[in-house]
Amino acid sequence: MNTQNKKQLKILISAYACEPHQGSEPGVGWNVVKEISKYHQVWVLTSNCHRPGIETEITQNPISNLHFIYLDPFNWYLNWHPQHKLTNKVVHFHHYLWQIWAYLISRSLHQQIGFDLVHHVTYVRYSSPSFVSLLPIPFLWGPVGGGESAPQSFWKDFSLSGKLYENLRNLARWVGEKDPSVHLTAKRSVVAWATTQDTAQRLQQIGTKNIQIHSQLGLSLEEIEQLAKNALRDDSHLKFISVGRLLHWKGFHLGLTAFAQAKVSNAEYWIIGDGRERANLEKLVQDLGISEKVKFWGNLSREQTLNKIKSCNVLVHPSLHESGGFVCLEAMAAGLPVVCLDLGGPGIQVTTETGFKIKAYTPKQTVSDLAKAMEYLAQDSELRLSMSKAGQERVKKAFSWENKGLYLAQLYREVVAKNSPNLQLG
């Protein structure tokens, strides 16, 4: 379908987090609205904390069809940063209030502009409501995630703080699922995207009808091309790498234990990131007797991290519950086979052609299977090459922001045509 020659729709986007040149939620929000604006008129509701980044970008690189409305409850906005302690403590309460403000403002905007459709993009959290769903136009929800849980058999290896975190997380989801406004959001959605099958099941339980599974993550074609360039790998000295915050649910203890168990000679294991589990992981490395083969790099810049990924041979990502797994996409784009658990977002991104997806029944079984995957990849350079090429091709086809934008632009037309049969779309 050639959307460029058809009448543009008026689309309202709820993107609490939205900022260029950022990862995580702000990056998702920005890339979605940027791509949709190629096909339709787009109005974006977002928080004032993203205003400096957005206005700097659009001043340098103007984007037609894209309009921003900055708002926050009681003029209170947070200094968004994923590691900011205060932000982490109050962000979900702030987001809830923000959603109410977004509806009040969008109701007035709709009377002025007459939107054809409204889409909630960020936060990608299924247990939070989106009050813009109350507008008298078709409402699209997501992708939303958060329905994933660490298998119960793995809890025994968590620290006391880790177990407390998991229990509080479960409680927060339970409270969200009981919120009538979340149920109303679910019922008002004409289409809802879940990032994983776990979240899809929870969406169904709260009354969502039309559910599809789609990852919220993507890379631009420019980023994909850059990641594929200048890889400096030594196949005679294998380097495994894991990237992420050093938290209990990231499962790095499983990867390290598997590396110690694997019969892989002349190899190293690099870990990039920091967090409360670092001391425990460093002690584990000593106890396993692999200190000389493991290097903790700590927190690095994005550019430094990508350069480290490009110099390694295999990404190991044993996360126990994650709706995303952005590093898996980056690694595949850079040509690395991925060894992950068959859980959450990574279990959807990675295929048998691009890596190994390990079933997670028990810690002992999981470690054993992770070790076997490491051995297979270490011993078979042709397998690594095959998975490298397949991974790069998969990212281009299924995870480029450009393709995601085109898909959404076409879907909007179909939804509006179905729900507004008298509207002439050209």
> How far apart are alpha carbons 308 and 310 in whole angstroms?
5
**What is the Cα Rg of the chain in Å?**
22
pLDDT at 1: 45
Q: Which of 280, 202, 218, 207 is nearest to 246 (CA)?
A: 280
**Strand runs labelled E in 101-188:** 117-122, 139-144
Give the CA-trace dihedral at 331, 335, 338, 343, to 10 degrees.
60
Give the CA-trace dihedral at 347, 353, 355, 356, to 10 degrees.
70
Task: Return the bridge partners of 316, or none.
Answer: 339
> How far apart are alpha carbons 377 and 244 in whole angstroms?
22
pLDDT tens digit sequence for 353-396: 999 999 999 999 999 999 999 999 999 999 999 999 999 999 99
C-beta separation of 154 from 360 below 8 A: yes
> How far apart are alpha carbons 18 and 372 in whole angstroms?
41
Please say if the pLDDT value at position 425 is more than 70: no
pLDDT at 42: 97
Query: In what helix (H) or strand (E) does residue 13 lie, and over which residues does it extend?
Result: strand 10-15
> How far apart are alpha carbons 399 and 220 in whole angstroms?
8
Domains, in order of start, for the chain: 3-218+400-419 (3.40.50.2000), 221-398 (3.40.50.2000)
Query: In what helix (H) or strand (E) does residue 379 lie, and over which residues does it extend?
Result: helix 363-379
Residue 379 corresponds to which tokens in the numbers above? 């011993």
Q: What is the pTM of this model?
A: 0.89
* φ/ψ bin of 215: left (φ > 0), alpha (ψ from -120 to 50), beta (otherwise): beta
Number of CB atoms found within 10 A of residue 268's CB: 18
pLDDT tens digit sequence for 276-309: 999 999 999 999 999 999 999 999 998 899 999 9
Identity of the residue numbered 395: V
pLDDT at 81: 57
pLDDT tens digit sequence for 8-42: 999 999 999 999 988 788 999 999 999 999 999 99
